[in-house]
Amino acid sequence: MTEKDKIFNDLNENINIIKQITSLRAADGNWNAGLLTSLLVFSKVYHKFDAIDGLQYDEIQKYRREAGKRLSESSTSIMCKVIIDGWQRGYIHENGILVEYNEIKTSLHILHNYSDCTPEVTYDMAGEPDFLETLKLILVTFLPKHMKGETKKKDEALISSCLAIFHNISMMDQNIPRLRSLEIVPLLDSFLDAKEEMYHLSALATLANIIDEQESAILRDKPDVVAFLLKTLKLAIRSDKHRDKGWSAQECAMAVRRIARNDANKKILVRLGCLKRLVRLAKIGNVEEKREAVGAILVLAFEKDNHSKILELNIIGLLKLFKDEIKDKEIIKTIDRIFWILREELQKNDQYKHIVSSFEQKNRPVSAVKEPGKRSGATVKNKKGHIMISYNWEHQTEVKKISSFLEEYYDVWVDTKNMNGSTLQAMACAVEAAHVVLVCMSQKYKDSPNCRLEAEYAHKLNKNIIPLKMERRYEPDGWLGILIGTQLFYEFSGKYPFEAKLKDLLRGIQHCYENEDVKPRGVAVKSPLEKTVAVIREWTPERVNKWIEEQKLPKENFPEFTSRELALLVTMRSEAPEFVYNCLQKNLGITSLKTMAILIEGLEDLLSKDLQDLSA
């Protein structure tokens, strides 16, 4: 039996012991006998892999992840409960004596270590009732004492582990809503001014993962803390294990990338010298580190003011060299995207224009985008182009439904079935051949460099952009907020019936095409919106009152209702369906669902009528 097998054998025996524990405490109120001993086994196992001769660091982390998965399957919840129970019973007595410290400290230490390498452990902790609230309470309790220099060494150990656990949990995107629900941002902001410098790093990296655009000034106002992050990255790269004081180079690069999601922060990071460190990591790091490094450079490249610095440092030449040498497809695609963003500057630069030339020859063939659903080389029927759906994979299920519905009427391009060649090539061709681009808005869409490339390229080419809201509480901010502006959106977040929104969307798309030669397949466009509205505006007061009577609407809600107001409601129903219901309540005082339903049906009827019927 190898040393590694012996370690896992001991771990399995310990797991069997833990599974037999039915209660954390004995009848006398003390901890269950053997609980602390069993917990310590997990801690020892984590460090035992370091002692195996000839084991490389990547292999050590691999075995730790395997041990972490077994922890997740058996013991994470128990350790969380130990921490919750120990803290609730009174970690510190009124006389200042520490109680139940070992159990809390050991459990926190184990969860800290394993959550650093095992995503499953972070999911367990995020889902454990009252656990994150307890960690927050520990930090709230000790922060004032820490700032006054009154905490003890044992207290500082708890603070350190709590901050580290929050950071590890925040590394996984699916945990972000849970962390946001804690309203922990102000607390972490306070730790950016902590006396212990390493606390700055944990708080900064966690904030970078969870804050939104409005809160990004928190990081922008702390350049010294960001500089410390870059210093840690530099030291980690120099280390044999690519770690410094517990922080890996990959974690630091990820923090840089997350901080750079805000465009103003991009400038600060480049000014503080992050590019040299990222290029160094991309050159000597393992595959995961290379991915994180070039991913961070990609995000930084979206800020136009950073382009000159990227050219000045010969980063383009180095990336071209990396691309030619490396086999990882993800890294190659990321580098291609960096070239794409900088293509205009590269074309003007004698030193780099050959890169753009070879890049375009390889990735931008003159080929028509295939018609969706057709295997032949037939080009898109629509003279003015197809509908392209730009989305984040998180909403693939909803997008497939939208695509299937729209394909009954228009040619639709979605990357799930039109992937020919590189993703970048497919994106560029799809945008260029599109007449309408549906932008499926969500937080992950906004944070995705790939989605940003698609949306900004569509905007640059003056395509008709129609926003779809896929996440109920998301409000577009940052670059996406600027791009969308005050455009009206169609909501597919589940707030309204999906089928009803599909019909609203179809009308909006129809409006984009109605001034062109293209008409929906199988749809008779009886009355273009502008013509319909123009006819209704000409209605006499008698004709308007007759329509109100025909719909059997209560006249008290329409005392001075004219053709102009009716025409406006028809326009809103077609172009801004999300605002109609609020308008009916606020401006017409309609609160009855029955009345509202009758009016909406009446507006729908007007939209579907022939112009001759409207004029009669």
For the stretch 362-376, pLDDT in tens is 554 433 344 443 323
Residue 90 CB contacts under 8 Å (≥ 6 apart), including other chains: 99
Q: Clarify whether residues 267 and 348 are in a common domain.
A: yes
Mean of pLDDT values over 97-120 = 87
Q: Is residue 376 part of a domain?
A: no
Q: Clarify whether residues 90 and 46 are in a common domain.
A: yes
Q: Check residue 418 and give its pLDDT.
A: 42
Hey, is 152 helix, strand or coil?
A: coil
Q: Check residue 369 and give its pLDDT.
A: 44
Q: Clarify whether residues 144 and 8 are in a common domain.
A: yes
Q: Check residue 262 and give its pLDDT.
A: 84
Q: Clarify whether residues 223 and 306 are in a common domain.
A: yes
Residue 518 has pLDDT above 80, yes or no: no
Q: Is residue 519 part of a domain?
A: no
Q: Clarify whether residues 354 and 484 are in a common domain.
A: no
Residue 265 has pLDDT above 80, yes or no: yes
Q: How confident is the model at residue 522 (pLDDT cuts 50, 70, 90)?
A: very low
Q: Check residue 524 and give its pLDDT.
A: 43
Q: Check residue 526 and give its pLDDT.
A: 43
Average pLDDT for the chain: 85
Q: Clarify whether residues 484 and 604 are in a common domain.
A: no
Element (H, E) at 490: strand 490-491
CA dist 292 and 270 (Å) reads 16
Q: Check residue 616 and give its pLDDT.
A: 65
Question: Is the pLDDT higher at 225 or at 356?
Answer: 225
Q: Check residue 118 and give its pLDDT.
A: 95
Q: Is residue 371 part of a domain?
A: no
Q: Which of 451, 486, 513 is the last residue of a domain?
A: 513
CA dist 3 and 428 (Å) reads 53
Residue 11 CB contacts under 8 Å (≥ 6 apart), including other chains: 41, 42, 45, 67, 70
Question: Is the pLDDT higher at 36 or at 315?
Answer: 315
CA nearest neighbour of 337 among 383, 369, 291, 372: 291
Residue 420 has pLDDT above 50, yes or no: no
What's the CATH number where 31 sits? 1.25.10.10
Write out the two tokens for 159.
């603070």
Inter-helix orientation angle 249-259/263-271, to 10°: 130
Q: Clarify whether residues 12 and 142 are in a common domain.
A: yes
Domain count, the chain: 4
Q: Check residue 293 and give its pLDDT.
A: 96
- The pTM (predicted TM-score) of the whole model is 0.74
Query: For strand 247-248 and strand 243-244, is the pairing parallel, antiparallel, or unpaired?
Result: antiparallel
Q: Clarify whether residues 185 and 74 are in a common domain.
A: yes
Q: Which of 330, 363, 396 is the last residue of a domain?
A: 363
Residue 93 has pLDDT above 70, yes or no: no
Q: Clarify whether residues 323 and 469 are in a common domain.
A: no
Mean of pLDDT values over 457-465 = 93
Residue 145 has pLDDT above 90, yes or no: yes
Q: Check residue 297 and give its pLDDT.
A: 96
Q: Clarify whether residues 236 and 315 are in a common domain.
A: yes
DSSP β-bridge partners for residue 437: 388, 465
Q: Check residue 348 and give its pLDDT.
A: 86
Residue 525 has pLDDT above 50, yes or no: no
DSSP β-bridge partners for residue 379: 370
60 CA to centre of own chain: 30
Q: Check residue 601 and give its pLDDT.
A: 86
Q: Which of 488, 513, 538 is the last residue of a domain?
A: 513
List pLDDT tens digits, range 380-415.
445 678 999 999 998 999 999 999 999 999 999 998
Q: Clarify whether residues 158 and 226 are in a common domain.
A: no
Q: Check residue 366 and give its pLDDT.
A: 37
Mean of pLDDT values over 527-541 = 80
Which residues constitute the domain of residue 85? Answer: 1-210
Q: Clarify whether residues 151 and 284 are in a common domain.
A: no
Q: Is residue 182 part of a domain?
A: yes
